[in-house]
Structure 1
Amino acid sequence: MKYIAEYRDGELAHHIAARIAAEVRPGRNYRFMEFCGGHTHAMARYGIEIFLPDSVRMIHGPGCPVCVLPIGRIDLAIRLALERGVMLCTYGDTMRVPASEGLSLIQAKARGADVRMVYSAADALALADRHPEREVVFLAIGFETTTPPTALVLREARERAVPNFSVLCCHVLTPAAITHILESAEVRQLGTVPIDGFIGPAHVSIVIGSQPYEHFAEEYRKPVVITGFEPLDVMQGILMLVRQVNAGRAEVENEFSRAVTPEGNLAAQNLVSQVFELRESFEWRGLGDVPYSALKIRPAFAAWDAERKFALQYTSVPDHRQCECGAILRGVKRPTDCKLFGTVCTPESPMGSCMVSNEGACAAHYAYGRFKDIPVVSA
């Protein structure tokens, strides 16, 4: 299949791996963060880290939209469903994220709440059309990739004056999160998370383009390589980062040129700016409050803003004390550093958000990498 099979060629993978091994410099360590959860999943699924020299280490970032959603936001949705009797619609993974008091949206559904899995915001609007007697709320999550479809639905709801539909907006922004990571004490002062460069998001970059990353290259002297999700994409991106580090360059390079342009999707960007505006601050799981890192619905669409419609008040809730999701999302720890990993915390019974989505670092390692951690003992 075009754009699939040729990016999974084993012979080419070994060739790129050989180039990486040949070009890393003796005595030099390379630490690259893959921001996007899609890359984390691809690396685990295809065993990419097995191909890398010991001197090249990949650090998992916070680019999984389900993983970074804080408990307090899930609590808002659960209260709407259980206490206000709304029909709460959201994506499948979001339904399993642990919230307060051992609840999740799927457990709230088991208690009688009307919680429904949908594939898109348009599905939620269609449910509002079919059930005019019910209040339908769409819990909108995700980065810049899923924001334009939510904007389209909000625009349509206003144009058709749909009275029983609203959106609980939890859309977040990639560049602000990268800035927060680079400004963190762990990166700038303590050195506990040394980052030499970034594997830039693929789908996000299709929307926002490559230009927003130029700030990180110029201001922080960190190279960024925007990379596709196929295994050869990721390996080529790592090779490009190694070459930049060796040459002392800090530039934005676009490996995913078959889909990403410098300016991005201008139509999608314009639509988003018409419907949404920046929040002054938004809490991310693991990162805390990050300024100007999320979107809220503009006053012109207030009638379809669930936060305004139901007078919702957000309350921050700490994670489970033994859960290391926060540290994993910041790149400070790896999944196997968590005492709960693979024991009481599994995809079937997640204790933290990183074990919920297949883009989460813990879920990816559990599915594809945990057996590598078991020492081989001869008979």
Structure 2
Amino acid sequence: MKYLDEFQDPELARRLLDEIHATVTRPWALMEVCGGQTHSIIRHGIDQLLPDQLELIHGPGCPVCVTPLEVIDKALEIASRPGVVFCSFGDMLRVPGTGRDLFRVRSEGGDVRVVYSPLDALRIAQQNPEKEVVFFGIGFETTAPPNAMTVYQARRLGIRNFSLLVSHVRVPPAIEAIMQSPSCRVQAFLAAGHVCSVMGVEEYPELAERYRVPIVVTGFEPLDILEGVRRTVRQLERGEHTVENAYPRAVRPEGNPAARAMLADVFEVTDRAWRGIGVIPGSGWRLSARYREFDAEHRFSVTGINTVEPADCRSGEVLQGLLKPNECEAFGTTCTPRNPLGATMVSSEGACAAYYLYRRLDVAPARLEASPVA
């Protein structure tokens, strides 16, 4: 299959690995900021094929995982109300809130439905004018444009019984927050190709220059990731810190102008809390004033939510790249995909789920000390 089989070629992978091994002369720590890349890395054992001096740190790239507990609890509160049809993608239904999840709300009589597009939720609103239909809009820059389009369509068509519970986040401010952390060991980034296919790369050169870190836009197949690592290591060894696009078949420097225009119309930048990390300034979107009437948080006045994170869940450390999933005491014992303590064990892009699915159950070895960026 074009762009699939050819990017899983074992011979080409071996050549890239040989070049990476020949290039590395000292320890380096790289972070992939994408849950899809994390799963590909663990599934194909890419981290185990790299030189011992290279550590891949799994960043906060899972949209389900970084959705804050407070927003999950707001979703649970709205979904529990009579007359509400609460629509969501399936991987959000098992994410634990304080004491329950959306599956539990549905078992208790709530009208919670799995949809495959936000436009499906809008269609449900058209077909059920007597109901309040809410779509749970989460994710990075990749999923924000279709959610924005749905709100735009609701306003254009005069569908007033539709609203969006928004928890959208932006990658560049997260990279900045990671680099400003006193515990940061990251020396380079593999940027998420799907995010850059929407937003382009214009926000990254300033970050690369300010923090002196290479940033390489990377795809999701094994050869994509190895090529991203190869380019990143080459820069680190040379003491360079620029932005490179290793995913040109999907990413243009300007991104997708139509999608960006839709985002600029429907959303506005705001501070946003990230689960396990805290509030990152300017790291999210909310509905702009023109579309505020479609904001479920305002429509249902969900305030006074008191959240309680499980004491034995260390997913916040996993999301910050401070802990590998199999270093957590609860991993694979009291925390499993069937009975998760945190979102990183639930989501199809969560690091804990990847380690569990691909049987990385042994305790991880001690990390290498990372060298400062030249």
TM-score calculated relative to the size of structure 1 = 0.94
1:167-316 matches, cutoff 5 A: 167-187=164-184, 194-279=185-270, 281-313=271-303, 315=305
Whole-angstrom distance in 1 between the partners of 2:263 and 2:295 = 15
* Equivalent pair of 1:74/1:99 in contact (CA under 8 Å): yes
| Greater mean deviation of Cα atoms: 82-91 or 245-254 | 82-91
Q: 1:314 & 1:263 partners in 2: Cα distance? A: 41
Measured after TM superposition, the shift of residue 83 of structure 1 is 3.0
What's the counterpart of residue 56 of structure 1? 54
8 Å CA contact 1:76–1:314 kept in 2: the answer is no
Deviations along 1:99-152, whole A, 9 cap, x unmatched? 002x01111111111111111110100111111111000010010000110111
Contact 2:313 2:341 (8 Å CA) reproduced: yes
1:68-107 equivalences under 5 Å are: 68-101=66-99, 103-107=100-104
TM-score by length of 2: 0.95
Matches within 5 A, 1:139-178: 139-178=136-175
Shift of 1:372: 5.8
CA deviation vs aligned residue, 1:64-98 (integer Å, no higher than 9, x gap):
00000111101101111113541110111111111
Instruction: Give, as a single letter, the amino acid of the residue that structure 1 aligns with 2:164.
Output: V
CA distance in 2, matches of 1:184, 1:373: 25
Q: Which residue of 1 aligns with 2:358?
A: 368
Aligned to 1:324: 314
Contact in 2 for aligned 1:216/1:223 (Cα 8 Å): no
The CA distance in 2 between the partners of 1:225 and 1:73, in whole Å, is 32
Task: Give unpaired runs (5+ residues) of structure 2.
Answer: 366-374
Which residue matches 2:349? 359
SS in 2 for 1:320: coil
SS in 2 for 1:75: helix
C-alpha distance in 2 between matches for 1:297 and 1:206: 22
Which residues of structure 1 form unaligned runs of 5+? Answer: 188-193
How far residue 312 of structure 1 moved from its aligned partner, in angstroms, is: 2.3
SS at match of 2:332: coil
CA–CA distance in 2 between the matches of 1:203 and 1:91?
18
Once the two structures are TM-superposed, the CA of residue 314 in structure 1 deviates from its matched residue by: 6.1
**What is the aligned residue count?**
365
In 2, Cα distance between equivalents of 1:374 and 1:160: 54
Q: Show the counterpart of 1:191.
A: none
SS at 1:150 equivalent? helix
What's the offset of the Cα at 1:315?
Answer: 3.6
Alpha-carbon contact 1:144-1:172 (below 8 Å) kept:
yes
CA shift in 2, pair 1:363/1:314, >3 Å: farther
In 2, the alpha carbon distance for the partners of 1:53 and 1:303 equals 53
Contact 2:193 2:247 in 1 (8 A): yes
* Deviation sequence 1:264-315 (CA, Å, 0-9, x none): 1111111111001112x22111210111111111121122111221122264
* Match in the other structure for 2:36: 38
How far apart, in 2, do the equivalents of 1:289 and 1:304 lie? 24
1:374–1:39: structure 2 CA closer, same or farther, 3 Å change rule? closer
Conserved? CA contact 1:67–1:353, under 8 Å? yes
Which secondary structure does the structure 2 equivalent of 1:88 belong to? strand
SS of 1:292's partner is: strand
Aligned counterpart in structure 1 of residue 338 of structure 2, from 348, 360, 366? 348
Decide whether the 8 Å contact of 1:227 with 1:237 is kept in 2.
yes
In structure 1, C-alpha distance between the alignment counterparts of 2:67 and 2:167, rounded to whole Å = 8
Match of 1:126 in 2: 123
Assess if the C-alpha contact under 8 Å between 2:214 and 2:232 holds in 1: yes
Matched-pair contact (CA < 8 Å) for 1:85–1:113? no
**Residue deviations 1:154-211, cap 9 Å, x none?**
1110011102111111111111111111111212xxxxxx111000001001001112
